[in-house]
Amino acid sequence: MLETRNLCKRFGGLVATDHVSLSIREGELHAVIGPNGAGKTTLIAQLAGELKPDQGAILFDGRDVTRLPVHRRAAAGLARSFQITSVFPRFTALQNVALAVQAHAGHSFRFWRRASRDEALNGPARGALELVGLGDRAGVRAELLSHGEQRQLEIAMALATGPRMLLLDEPMAGMGPAEGAEMVELLRGLKRRYTILLIEHDMDAVFALADWITVLVHGAVIATGTPDGIRSDPEVRRAYLGEEAG
Ligand SMILES: Nc1ncnc2c1ncn2[C@@H]1O[C@H](COP(=O)(O)OP(=O)(O)OP(=O)(O)O)[C@@H](O)[C@H]1O
């Protein structure tokens, strides 16, 4: 469903993405792991269209999207989880998700009568909140949600745009063990229904969820394989997992 071919991105003399070729099949949860500064965020930013690669190609559904802007990729079904900075703290969870639905639909709601417009936005917004387990928190202002619930809200906002593939950048960041476990369950529920690319430092979560793992070091892919294959790969253990892998 998503493929990169020899993707390269440099920042001055630093090679942040070094000839990365990835292939992510439909319905699969594919994790990208690697030490700090390995280039994970830079990679996801290129996939989402926020950063232009210097070289290489990105194909989504067989179509070359390398030069498509963010909103055209989103319209094609490739969605990056919203960052907390794009959440309006004083708006309720439902209002935030409804805004994401509206932003995705563009101007097509402008001519609707208010009541039907509100229902057309709130219906899908409610559905997305249910999917992430925030159904009963719809009326709560975003600023009053717990940290974990705010991350769930970001995912609901991405789901509200009707994507087929989700790009998730560290959804467990800053979470305690209980919130992290809830997020793992949430992602397990989204798996298969959506194709997911997950960047995550929490190795327990990665090994519990991923069908396929790619390891990046200094911008380059050093290994790609199943969780069992990656866990026992001598180069990965040397370069990254170390004693973490047991
Ligand atoms: N806009 C930028 N300008 C210059 N250098 C950058 C820029 N963005 C990232 N870098 C550098 O590119 C390298 C890769 O960074 P990136 O944030 O993609 O790594 P990461 O794997 O996501 O790290 P982390 O796990 O810490 O989030 C780092 O050395 C970083 O300092």
**What pLDDT digit, counting tens, does each position of 129-159 carry?**
999 999 999 999 999 999 899 999 999 999 9
Q: What's residue 121's pLDDT?
A: 87
Distance 24 CA to ligand 1 centre (A): 23
Q: What's residue 83's pLDDT?
A: 61
**Domains, the chain, ordered by start:** 1-27+37-77+163-235 (3.40.50.300), 86-162 (no CATH)
| Ligand 1 pocket check for 173: Cβ under 6 Å | no
Structural contact between residues 235 and 229, judged by C-beta atoms closer than 8 angstroms: no
Distances (CA, A) of 218 to 42, 54, 55, 202, 213: 12, 16, 17, 19, 16
ipTM greater than 0.90: yes
Q: CA 148 to CA 163: how far, in whole Å? A: 22
Nearest-atom index, ligand 1, CA of 199: 22
Q: What's residue 8's pLDDT?
A: 97
Alpha helix segments (H runs only) across the chain: 40-48, 70-76, 93-105, 114-131, 147-159, 177-190, 203-209, 227-231, 234-236
| Ligand 1 pocket check for 40: Cβ under 6 Å | yes
Q: Which residues, in sequence order, are CB contacts of 48 under 8 Å at separation 6+?
A: 70, 73, 78, 80, 167
Q: CA 246 to CA 242: how far, in whole Å? A: 8
| Ligand 1 pocket check for 11: Cβ under 6 Å | yes
pLDDT at 98 over 60: yes
pTM of the model: 0.89
| Ligand 1 pocket check for 148: Cβ under 6 Å | no
Beta bridge partners of 7: 20
